[in-house]
Structure 1
Amino acid sequence: MSIKTFKPALLSLAIASSISMNAFADDVAKEASVVEQFTIFGSDSSVNNVPGSAHQLSKDDLEKFDYTDIMRSLTSIPGVYVLEEDGYGLRANIGMRGTGQNRSEKVTIMEDGVLAAPAPYAAPSAYYFPTAGRMQQVEVLKGTSSAMYGPRTTGGVVNMLSRQIPDEALAGQIKVQAGQDGFAKVHGVIGGQGENISSVFEVFRYQADGFKDINHSNQDTGFVKNDVLGKVRFNTDDDATFDQELELKVKYSDEDSDDTYMGLTQADFESDPYSRYSASQKDNMTTEHLQLQLSHAIELSERFNLGTTVYHNDFSRNWYKTSKIGQMVVDDEGNSSIVYQSLSKGTQLASDYDHGEIDELYTQVKANNRDYLSQGIQTVLDADLNNHQLKLGIRYHQDEMDRYQWVDKYYLDANYNMTLTGEGTPGTDSNRIDSASALALFVHDEWTIGKFVINAGLRYEDMTIEREDWGKTDPDRLTEAKTKKNDLDVILPSLALTYHLTDDLVLLGGVQKGFAPPSPGNEEATNEESINYELGARFGKNAFNAEALVFLSDYDNMHGNCTASQNCDDENIGEQYNAGEVKIKGIELKAGYEFDFNDLSMPIDLTYTHTQTEFLNTFESDFWGDVEAGDEFPYVPENQFQLTVGLAGDKWRSNVLVRYTGEMRSEAGVGASASNIDSHTVVDFVASYDIATNQQVRFSVDNLLDETYMATRMHGSIMVGKPQTMSIGYQYNF
Structure 2
Amino acid sequence: MDGAWHRDRGQAPGGRAREDAGGSLEPPVERHQAGVNIGSVTSAINTGGADAALLQAILDGTADTAHPNGVRYGNNFQEFTSQGIQTQLEGAFQTGALTHNLTFGVRRHEDETRNVADAGNEIYQQVNGRLVFQGVTGPNKNRGEAEAWSVWLGDRISYGNWSFLPVIRYEDIQTVGNVLNPAPRNSLTNTSVGLGVNYAVDANWTLLAGAYEGFAPPGSSAAEGTKGEESVNYEAGVRYRNGSLGIDAIAFLSDYDNALRLCLVANPCPGGLVDGSTLQSGAKEVYGLELGAFATLFETADFSIPARLSYTYTEGEYTRASDTAGGVLAGDTLDYTPPHTGVIQFGIEHQRGWDIYAALNYTDETCTTTTCDRIGIDDTYLRTESLFTVDLSASYDISDVVEVYTKVDNVFDERAIMHRGSDGARGNPGRYIGVGIRLNF
By the TM > 0.5 criterion, same fold? yes
Is the contact made by 1:553 and 1:584 (CA closer than 8 Å) also made in structure 2?
yes
- Partners of 1:650 and 1:398 lie apart in 2 by 46
Shift of 1:418: 4.1
The answer to whether 1:467 aligns with 2:174 is no
Distance 1:643 1:360, change over 3 A: same
Check whether the contact 1:618–1:629 (CA below 8 A) recurs between aligned residues: yes
Q: What SS class does the counterpart of residue 41 from structure 2 fall into?
A: helix
Counterpart amino acid of residue 352 in structure 1? A
1:329-728 superposed matches below 5 A:
329=28, 340-347=35-42, 348=45, 351-353=56-58, 355=60, 357-359=62-64, 362-386=70-94, 387-404=99-116, 406-415=120-129, 417-427=130-140, 431-468=141-178, 470=180, 481-523=181-223, 525-567=226-268, 572-598=274-300, 599-619=302-322, 621=324, 625-648=326-349, 653-669=355-371, 670=373, 673-674=379-380, 675-687=382-394, 700-725=407-432, 727=433
Over 3 Å counting, the alpha-carbon distance change for 1:393 and 1:703 in structure 2 is closer
Structure 2, gaps ≥5 residues long: 46-53
CA spacing shift, 1:319–1:711, aligned 2, 3 Å:
farther
CA distances 1:1-31 after superposition (whole Å, capped 9, x unpaired):
xxxxxxxxxxxxxxxxxxxxxxxxxxxxxxx
Which structure 2 residues correspond to residues 42-441 of structure 1 after superposition, within 5 A? 306-317=1-12, 318=15, 320-323=17-20, 324-327=23-26, 329=28, 340-347=35-42, 348=45, 351-353=56-58, 355=60, 357-359=62-64, 362-386=70-94, 387-404=99-116, 406-415=120-129, 417-427=130-140, 431-441=141-151
C-alpha separation in 2, matches of 1:641 and 1:715: 28
| CA pair 733-510 structure 1, distance change in 2 beyond 3 A | closer
Q: Tell me if the contact between 2:404 and 2:438 (Cα under 8 Å) persists in the aligned partners.
A: no
Q: CA deviation at 1:648?
A: 4.5
Letter in 2 for 1:343: I
- Which runs of 5 or more structure 1 residues have no equivalent in the other structure? 1-305, 471-480
Q: Distance in 1 between matches of 2:228 and 2:434?
A: 49
List per-residue Cα deviations over 1:171-216 (Å, max 9, x = no partner). xxxxxxxxxxxxxxxxxxxxxxxxxxxxxxxxxxxxxxxxxxxxxx
| In 1: Cα distance, 2:324 partner to 2:16 partner | 27
| Letter matched to residue 367 of structure 1 | N
Give, as a single letter, the amino acid of the residue that structure 1 aligns with 2:84. Answer: G
Contact 1:325-1:350 within 8 A present in 2 as well: no
Contact 2:113-2:145 within 8 A present in 1 as well: yes
Counting aligned pairs with the same residue, the percent is 25
Deviation at 1:700, TM superposition (A): 4.2
Take 1:457 and 1:682, find their aligned partners in 2: how far apart are those partners? 39
CA spacing shift, 1:310–1:615, aligned 2, 3 Å: same
Instruction: Rate the CA distance shift 1:342–1:449 in 2: closer, same or farther, 3 A.
Output: same
| Aligned equivalents of 1:641, 1:573: Cα separation in 2 | 35
Amino acid at match of 1:500: A
C-alpha contact (below 8 Å) 2:268/2:274 kept by paired residues = no
- Please tell me whether the aligned partners of residues 176 and 182 of structure 2 are also in contact (alpha carbons under 8 angstroms): no
TM-score in terms of structure 1 length: 0.51
Higher fraction of helix: 1
Q: How far has the Cα of 1:565 moved from its partner?
A: 1.7
- 1:606–1:643 contact (8 Å) kept in structure 2: yes
* Code of the aligned partner of 2:109: H
Task: Choose between structure 1 and 2 for higher RCO, CA contacts under 8 A separated by at least 6 residues.
Answer: 1
Go from structure 1 to structure 2 and tell me whether the alpha carbon gap of 1:711 and 1:499 turns closer, same or farther (over 3 Å shift): same
**Count of matched residue pairs:** 408
CA-to-partner distance for each residue in 1:83-116, whole Å, 9 max, x for gaps? xxxxxxxxxxxxxxxxxxxxxxxxxxxxxxxxxx
Contact kept, 8 Å, 2:153 with 2:167, in 1: the verdict is yes
CA RMSD of aligned residues (A): 3.2
Q: Which amino acid aligns with 2:280?
A: N
Partner of 1:341: helix, strand, or coil? coil
Q: Is the 8 A contact 1:397 1:438 kept in 2?
A: yes
Q: Which amino acid in structure 2 is aligned with residue 464 of structure 1?
A: Q
Shift of 1:640: 0.8
Secondary structure, in 3 states, of the residue corresponding to 2:39?
helix
**Distance verdict in 2 for CA 1:339–1:354, change over 3 Å:** same
The one-letter amino acid of 2:204's match is D
CA contact 2:231–2:256 (8 Å) conserved in 1? yes
Distance 1:546-1:572 versus aligned 2 partners, 3 A rule: same
CA shift in 2, pair 1:576/1:730, >3 Å? closer
SS in 1 for 2:412: coil
Deviations 1:665-715, CA, capped at 9 Å, x for gaps: 011142782121121211223356789999987664332233221121033
CA drift at 1:616: 0.7
Task: Give the structure-2-normalised TM-score.
Answer: 0.81
